[in-house]
């Protein structure tokens, strides 16, 4: 009788122990052995856990053999033709990217009087200067890619093709600067705002809200 009770007690103990033992050997997928970023490793001769990319590999989406498209230059000279097709959708896309990334300094009109400038940042360039009216498109691409003077580079935020689309939109802005009412197709003239934006210190801030702003 006593013997029997002992056996039950030890069995009762043995089962949880066995269970614990089993779980200790188990490795779930959510707990995979791995190195923390930049951790040292004794396994590799150079003691780095992160392996260098195999020479000649190119990260997906980073194959850039088209010099004009990815540098805005051919043999060091700014190109003056868009290296990608630019259609209406492309210009629209350029407008939205421009409004996000460039207007804080250059203003919606591109006159260089964006809100950050009005608050004391270095005067941004006006796209209507003689120099920029005549500048080849590759120059705009280059400025967005590498920055210019006080202006930082936007390469990490704007993908190359969008830099071209922004440039196309800037060209449209430049064109609109000297556009006459007769340049607008007759059937679309009545859709234009009747009131010109008020002149003054902040024409950009006073620019009418654009419709369908994405």
What's the gap between Cα 23 and its chain centre?
A: 46
H-helix or E-strand spanning residue 73: strand 73-74
What's the gap between Cα 24 and its chain centre?
A: 46
> Please, which residue, 49 or 145, has the CB nearer to ligand HEC?
145
CA distances from 3 to 16, 17, 126 (A): 21, 21, 98
Number of residues binding to ligand HEC, judged by CB under 6 A: 21
148 scored as a contact of ligand HEC (CB under 6 A) = yes
Q: How many CA atoms lie within 13 A of 136 on its CB side?
A: 14
> Please, which residue, 133 or 206, has the CB nearer to ligand HEC?
133
d(CA 85, CA 93): 13
**Buried-state track 147-157, b at ≥16 Cβ within 10 A, e below 16:** eeeebeebeee
154 scored as a contact of ligand HEC (CB under 6 A) = yes
* Among positions 149, 193, 198, 212, the unique one binding ligand HEC when judged by CB under 6 A: 149
d(CA 143, CA 163): 10
* Among positions 14, 40, 150, 155, the unique one binding ligand HEC when judged by CB under 6 A: 150
140 scored as a contact of ligand HEC (CB under 6 A) = yes
* Burial classification of residue 186, based on how many CB atoms lie within 10 Å of its CB (0-12 exposed, 13-18 middle, 19 or more buried): exposed
Report the 10 Å Cβ neighbour count for 45: 7
- Name the residue number minimizing CB distance to ligand HEC: 149
Closest distance to ligand HEC from the beta carbon of 68 (Å): 18
Closest distance to ligand HEC from the beta carbon of 166 (Å): 5
70 scored as a contact of ligand HEC (CB under 6 A) = no
The one segment of 28-36, 41-49, 141-149, 191-199 that binds ligand HEC by CB under 6 A: 141-149
Instruction: Quote the tokens at residue 134.
Output: 């005549």
The one segment of 36-44, 60-68, 119-127, 201-209 that binds ligand HEC by CB under 6 A: 119-127
d(CA 138, CA 82): 8
Closest distance to ligand HEC from the beta carbon of 142 (Å): 9
The one segment of 31-39, 75-83, 117-125, 175-183 that binds ligand HEC by CB under 6 A: 117-125
Summarize as ranges the residues that interact with ligand HEC (CB under 6 A): 101-102, 104-106, 116, 121-122, 124-125, 132, 140, 143-144, 148-151, 154, 158, 166
């Amino acid at each position: 009788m006593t013997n029997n009770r002992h056996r039950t007690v030890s069995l009762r103990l043995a089962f949880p122990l066995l269970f614990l033992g089993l779980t200790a050997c188990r490795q779930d997928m959510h707990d995979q052995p791995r190195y923390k970023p930049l951790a040292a490793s004794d396994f590799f001769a150079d003691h780095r856990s992160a392996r260098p990319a195999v020479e000649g590999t190119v990260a997906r989406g980073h194959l850039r053999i088209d010099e004009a498209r990815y540098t805005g230059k051919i043999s060091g000279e700014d190109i003056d033709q868009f290296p990608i097709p630019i259609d209406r959708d492309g210009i629209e896309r350029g407008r939205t990217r421009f409004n996000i990334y460039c207007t804080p300094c250059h203003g919606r009109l591109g006159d260089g009087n964006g809100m950050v400038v009005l608050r004391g940042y270095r005067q941004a360039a006006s796209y209507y200067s003689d120099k920029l009216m005549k500048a080849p498109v590759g120059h705009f691409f280059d400025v967005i890619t590498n920055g210019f003077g006080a202006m930082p580079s936007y390469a990490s935020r704007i993908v190359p093709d969008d830099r071209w689309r922004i440039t196309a939109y800037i060209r449209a802005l430049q064109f609109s600067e000297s556009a006459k009412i007769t340049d607008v197709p007759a059937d679309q003239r009545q859709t234009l705002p009747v009131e010109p934006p008020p002149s003054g210190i902040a024409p950009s801030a006073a620019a009418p809200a654009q419709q369908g702003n994405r």
